Amino acid sequence: MTSIPRPSWDEYFLQLADLVKSRSTCQRRHVGAVLVRNERIISTGYNGAPRGIDHCLEAGCLRKELNIPSGQRYELCRGVHAEQNAIINAAYYGVSTENTYLYCNEQPCIICARMIINAGIIRVVYKGEFKDELAFKLLQDANITLAKLDSL
């Protein structure tokens, strides 16, 4: 009998983040996030418009219309980032995010980094090519463990 290699926990949760991103309604970037405590999922999030608001797939992309480059002027977007939605969804259902790990298929931006710090998340595992040096430094300054997995 041939056995399939069993993924590490980091690989497993990053694969789940890739599945979560398939729900994204952003026209430019699909991102998924999974919040985990003690190897159990407590919340997920993907990037898209707030509850009850037309998604970018229906309303169009404000960033595209305004020709805003990636990584700039985050506030000019109708979407909520995947990391933010994972944190918000935990809060919505009354689940603490203290001492959790966040798995995301992109490095968090500066806005998400600040939320990650204040949410009590202690480790961020990510992949992808998005880079925000200020966010990276802020997370390091807050003693949040950062791990980039390139193998997936």
| 81 assigned binding-site residue | yes
73: phi > 0 → left, psi -120 to 50 → alpha, else beta; which? left
Helices (H), 66-132: 82-92, 110-119
| 109 assigned binding-site residue | yes
**Exposure of 118 in the CB half-sphere (CA atoms within 13 A):** 11
| 77 assigned binding-site residue | no
Task: Report d(CA 100, CA 68) in Å as an integer.
Answer: 33
Q: Give the active site residue among 58, 83, 98, 133.
A: 83
**Element containing residue 44 per DSSP (H, E):** strand 40-46
Is 58 tagged catalytic? Answer: no
Catalytic residues, which ones? 83
Binding residues for Zn(2+): 81, 109, 112
Binding residues: 81, 109, 112
